[in-house]
Amino acid sequence: MKKIFSLILVLMVAVSFTACVKSMGGEIKGDAFVTEGWVSPDIFRVTATGVPKPGLTNKVQRRGTAKEAALIMAQKRIIEKFVGARLEGAAGAADYASTGVAVAKEFGGTVKGGTIVRSIYDKDDNCEIVYQIERKGLKSSVEGGATK
């Protein structure tokens, strides 16, 4: 009986997570608008979602904290994607941690200086953004390793 109850509980949680994800993901649409990946050799975009700080009731504050959380997540995702590209591009590369530090040091300013090109909120004030960074020769710098 406990196993059946546990299975039902797990399935209910999985369904609720799936329902929540569908309400946010993919809401920023457009045939010509790239929401994730390389837009050009100089422009890279990611999407990220943020939730409001717990306990806030003011709509402006809730949306502000959700947007800030999405921004931090987007910046983190870009660094992670660039670390992955570096590790894929260099067979026998150094460990993940040292590569992550090097990538964060090399691209940190570019990533922090990016812009939110689109944002959308749901009824719970969760925020989904498209974050873009731009730098001349960015793709070749990411895929080719350090060019110093």
Entry pTM = 0.71
**C-alpha dist (Å) from residue 68 to 61, 64, 108:** 10, 6, 17
Burial label for 86, CB within 10 Å (0-12, 13-18, 19+), is: buried
Looking at residue 110, its amino acid is: T
Q: Tell me, what's the pLDDT at 100?
A: 75
DSSP state of 114: -
- Report residue 118 as tokens: 């689109």
Whether pLDDT at 148 is above 70: no
Report which of 29, 49, 47, 39 is spatially closest to residue 124, judged by C-alpha positions.
49
- Kindly state the DSSP code that residue 32 receives in the 8-state scheme: S
- Mean of pLDDT values over 19-47: 71
